[in-house]
């Protein structure tokens, strides 16, 4: 069948699917009853009836809602085909009651039904609140309740001595007034419980965040502080530890994380962090813009890292500036220190650091490197990597 209703019912009740299907077919013969029932069940059977965790076992109690709904539908069908006078009205009402009760009954999960049985007055609320899809639940619940109440009042009216339409209308109005009264009484309690629940959930979320923060502080900050206490006399070590800790805390607080393997800015910052940790200096990194890495960009990052290492080794300063900018047609990196500086013309040919790792590497990948330095005025290494037009547009089209 179309909507998997038969399978759903079968799973729900723990009986073979075939039997359900046969039952539907047989009922179909009774002036289309099967079709009506099918539609009704389609409307009320939950989407995933059998919880996989709970072993399906036969529970006669679970049949009750279906029987009630079925009874209601059956009666409605009878009414449609031959409704006769007051008895017909009564039949209608009974049908309405049956459907309403069935819907209410069905909406409660088996365990909850058991809870209801254990302690009657309060768990109703509990059941209301525990329902995950609360609004839909309340809607159905109230709808079912209205159906039942209308039905009961109607029955009373039909069989009361007055036996006229006025009585029925009055009865219905009374029922509605009664329901409204119950609503007014119950609403504040419901509302309060709801609020309580919400604040509890918020509290839980906050607690979770706190726990995460506490774990982070414990794993990193406390350990770093312990290390600092032990190495208190070693200024270099203390500075290195404190700097690393500051960086990781800052990243944790302010920065969205990106993979250094994929993004240029992340790769550059990781390189700068490594140099900071290795040489116990501060790298002031400012990166404007970002892009994906490729082989050439990776080479640029490597050259920049080498320039940082040189500055850390030879400049004799505590702070090195790193500035990188990503533009549509080029990526540039500047590494600047205010250290001792040197005369680039006097660098001997056998010194490979600058020539191979920076200038040569940039040239191999289609970029260029410039080194500006004068004794006493520090050094700036400029690395420029042009991005070919087509690659730039490809990047843009992404």
Partner 1 sequence: MAEQSMPPVEPAGTGPERLRVFLVDDHAMFRAGVRAELGAHVEVVGEASTVAEAVNRIAATAPDVVLLDVHMPDGGGRAVLEAMRRSHPQVRFLALSVSDSAEDVIGLIRAGARGYVTKTISPDELAAAVRRVADGDAVFSPRLAGFVLDAFAARPDAPVADPELDQLTNREREVLRLLARGYAYKEIARELYISIKTVETHVSNVLRKLQMSNRYELSRWAADRRLV
245 binds partner 1, rule: CB under 8 A: no
Is residue 272 at the binding interface for partner 1, with CB under 8 A as the rule?
Answer: no
* Helix, strand, or coil (residue 59): coil
Cβ contacts of residue 115 below 8 Å, gap of 6+? 123, 126, 127
3-state SS assignment for residue 312? helix
Q: Which is nearer to partner 1, 131 or 380 (CB)?
A: 380
- In three-state secondary structure terms, 321 is strand
Could you say which of 183, 289, 356, 375 contacts partner 1 (CB under 8 A)? 289
Quote the tokens at residue 85: 């006078």
376 in contact with partner 1 (CB under 8 A): no
Please choose, out of 60-68, 104-112, 222-230, 389-397, the segment that lies near partner 1 by the rule CB under 8 A: 389-397
Closer of 247 and 296 to partner 1 (Cβ)? 247
Question: Per CB under 8 A, does 185 bind partner 1?
Answer: no
331: left (phi > 0), else alpha (psi -120 to 50), else beta? beta
Stretch that binds partner 1, among 116-124, 147-155, 252-260, 303-311 (CB under 8 A): 252-260
Unique residue bearing structure tokens 């036996």: 163
The verdict on 213 binding partner 1 (CB under 8 A) reads no
> Which of residues 81 and 254 has its CB atom nearest to partner 1 in the complex?
254
Which of 55, 121, 188, 256 binds partner 1 (CB under 8 A)? It is: 256
Q: Does 257 bind partner 1 (CB under 8 A)?
A: no
Binding mask 330-359 for partner 1 (x = CB under 8 A): ----x-x-x---------------------
| Percent of the chain that is helix, strand, coil (3-state, to 5) | 70, 10, 20
Question: Which DSSP string do the residues of 107-154 spell out, in sequence order?
Answer: HS-HHHHHHHHHS-TTHHHHHHHH-SSHHHHHHHHHHHHHHHHHHHHH
Angle between the N-to-C axes of helices 110-118 and 123-130, in degrees from 0 to 180, rounded to the nearest 10:
160
269 touches partner 1 (CB under 8 A): no
Order of strands, sheet of 319-326, starting from the edge strand that comes earlier in the sequence: 282-288, 319-326, 330-337, 379-386, 368-373
Asked if residue 288 binds partner 1 (CB under 8 A), the reply is yes
Which of 51, 200, 207, 284 contacts partner 1 by CB under 8 A? Answer: 284
Site of interaction with partner 1 (CB under 8 A) = 250, 253-256, 282, 284, 286-289, 319, 321, 323, 325, 327-328, 334, 336, 338, 380, 392, 395-396
């Amino acid at each position: 069948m179309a909507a998997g209703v038969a399978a759903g019912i079968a799973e729900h009740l723990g009986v073979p699917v075939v039997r359900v299907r046969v039952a539907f077919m047989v009922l179909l013969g009774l002036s289309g009853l099967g079709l009506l029932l099918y539609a009704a069940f389609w409307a009320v059977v939950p989407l995933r009836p059998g919880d996989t965790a709970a072993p399906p076992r036969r529970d006669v109690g679970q049949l009750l809602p279906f029987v009630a709904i079925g009874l209601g539908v059956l009666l409605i069908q009878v009414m449609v085909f031959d409704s006769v006078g007051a008895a017909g009205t009564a039949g209608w009402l009974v049908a309405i009651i049956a459907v309403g009760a069935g819907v209410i009954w069905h909406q409660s999960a088996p365990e909850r039904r058991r809870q209801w049985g254990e302690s009657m007055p309060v768990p109703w609320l509990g059941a209301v609140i525990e329902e995950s899809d609360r609004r839909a639940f309340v809607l159905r619940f109230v709808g079912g309740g209205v159906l039942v109440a209308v039905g009961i009042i109607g029955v009373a009216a039909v069989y009361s001595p007055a036996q006229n339409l006025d009585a029925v209308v009055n009865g219905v109005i009374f029922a509605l007034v009664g329901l409204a009264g119950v609503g007014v009484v119950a609403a504040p309690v419901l509302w309060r419980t709801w609020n309580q629940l919400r604040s509890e959930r918020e509290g839980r979320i906050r607690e979770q965040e706190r726990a995460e923060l506490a774990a982070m502080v414990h794993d990193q900050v406390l350990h770093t502080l312990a290390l600092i206490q032990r190495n208190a006399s070693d200024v270099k070590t203390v500075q290195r530890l404190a700097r690393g800790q500051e960086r990781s805390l800052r990243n944790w607080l302010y920065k969205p994380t990106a993979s250094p393997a994929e993004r240029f800015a992340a790769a550059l910052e990781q390189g700068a962090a490594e140099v900071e940790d290795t040489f116990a200096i501060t790298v002031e990194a400012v990166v404007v813009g970002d892009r994906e890495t490729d082989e050439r960009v990776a080479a640029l990052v490597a050259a920049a890292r080498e320039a940082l290492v040189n500055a850390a080794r030879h400049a004799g300063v505590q702070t090195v500036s790193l500035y990188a900018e990503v533009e549509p047609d080029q990526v540039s990196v500047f590494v600047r220190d205010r250290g001792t500086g040197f005369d680039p013309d006097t660098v001997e040919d056998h010194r490979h650091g600058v020539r191979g790792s920076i200038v040569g590497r940039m040239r191999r990948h289609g970029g260029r490197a410039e080194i500006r330095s004068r004794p006493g005025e520090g050094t700036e290494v400029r690395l420029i990597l042009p991005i070919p037009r087509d690659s730039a547009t490809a990047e843009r089209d992404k």
